[in-house]
Amino acid sequence: MADSSVLQGQFFITGDEACAEGAISAGCRFFAGYPITPASEIAERMARRLPQIGGVYVQMEDEIASMNAILGASWAGAKAMTATSGPGFSLMMENLGLGLMLETPCVVVNVQRAGPSTGLPTMVGQGDIMQARWGSHGVYEIIAISPSSPQEMFDLTIAAFNLSEKYRVPVLVMADETVGHMSEKVVIRPVKPEQLVERRRPTKPPGKYLPYQPDADLVPPMALAGEGYRFHVTGLTHDERGYPAMTAAAQEKLVRRLSDKIRVNRNDIIQVEEVGTEDADVIVCAYGITARVARRAVQMARAEGISVGLLRLITVWPFPEDRVRELSRRARLFVVPEINYGQIALEVERCASGKRTVLVPHMGGGMHLPQTILEAIREVVM
């Protein structure tokens, strides 16, 4: 049955399904992917929904091709997305770097599972956070956000598309198996056109347009294939025309701009949530599903009279280092629970001005118990 509109209303759905609906609400009309647990439900939902609204779903032969396909679709004018998990995310890294160099807006969802290698395909992990930042080669900046509920899988997927279009960069949604597979109420509100960011288009005629000539915010307007503009797209270091420029000077100019368009706009990009940090002696820093467990641990610690607060990372990359430094001036120490053996904990330690940082690790396959985090809080304040 044809449906010309996106869904609206309240639904009891999984985080993966909410992610697909968020993409559709953001204007995504192209999805290319390869089935992989625990992200397959995103592809399944898109395979059913996109044909109903005039979109295109393509199941690719692998994750390498999936990443390439969404880059091509974006250059043809579509808002495009793919979804994967750890092993597929690894395969996408080379073409993620291509997307960064070509300044191609698109969204990549990683529903993390426990690794390495095949690991525990159906069970939770948070081991890909550093790979999200450093997985491709060379110098670059990336945007990665971390939802902690099915509602945020919807809302933050829209936010990911907006950031991607605004800054002409692939944006990562670093979800996890538990958030992807849990079912909760998700409110799908109508998204007004003014709430959606569309990539900036050229205002110059084709003869005067330079594909990589940036505006004041360091982001170039983007022409689309087939519109009459002449441009050259290459992963090689290039000049403002897009032509290869094999010099150190060209590399300095281009790569510095690619990084700085994220760095200088950090305050626009970074989102965090804080609970009780204004008077906290101990700061618990967490993200994704672990942040929900940590919130309960903080409540339990407060009930015992311990001065503790929660810093939840909604944006993981760029890392909110300025806020961590500010909190470190008041707080005595930081506690960082993660479903890995220490990744974001190292970033907190780097920014904590010498304050003690305590990792509470979990190897994956399950979540922390609130009591485990509470016990870590008790130990550090004794």
Query: pLDDT band at residue 382, thresholds of 50, 70 and 90?
Result: confident
C-alpha–C-alpha distance, residues 77 and 37, integer Å:
29
C-alpha–C-alpha distance, residues 171 and 157, integer Å:
10
Percent of the chain whose pLDDT exceeds 70:
99
Compute CA distances 353 → 278, 342, 348, 359, whole Å.
18, 18, 9, 16
Place of tokens 């307007």: 221
Residue 174 has pLDDT above 90, yes or no: yes
Q: Which residues in the chain are classed under CATH 3.40.50.920?
A: 272-381
Inter-residue contact 104 to 71 (CB < 8 Å): yes
| CATH 3.40.50.920 is held by the domain 272-381 | yes
Structure tokens at 100: 């960064």
Domain 9-195: homologous superfamily in CATH: Thiamin diphosphate (ThDP)-binding fold, Pyr/PP domains (3.40.50.970)
Nearest partner of 346 among 316, 367, 369, 370, judged by Cα: 316
Higher pLDDT, 353 or 146: 146
Query: pLDDT band at residue 6, thresholds of 50, 70 and 90?
Result: confident
Residue 244 has pLDDT above 60, yes or no: yes
For the chain, the average pLDDT equals 96
Q: Which residues in the chain are classed under CATH 3.40.50.970?
A: 9-195
| pLDDT tens readout for residues 258-312 | 999 999 999 999 999 999 999 999 999 999 999 999 999 999 999 999 999 999 9
| pLDDT tens readout for residues 184-231 | 999 999 999 999 999 999 999 999 999 999 999 999 999 999 999 988
pLDDT of residue 5: 66
| pLDDT tens readout for residues 68-107 | 999 999 999 999 999 999 999 999 999 999 999 999 999 9
Residue 254 has pLDDT above 70, yes or no: yes
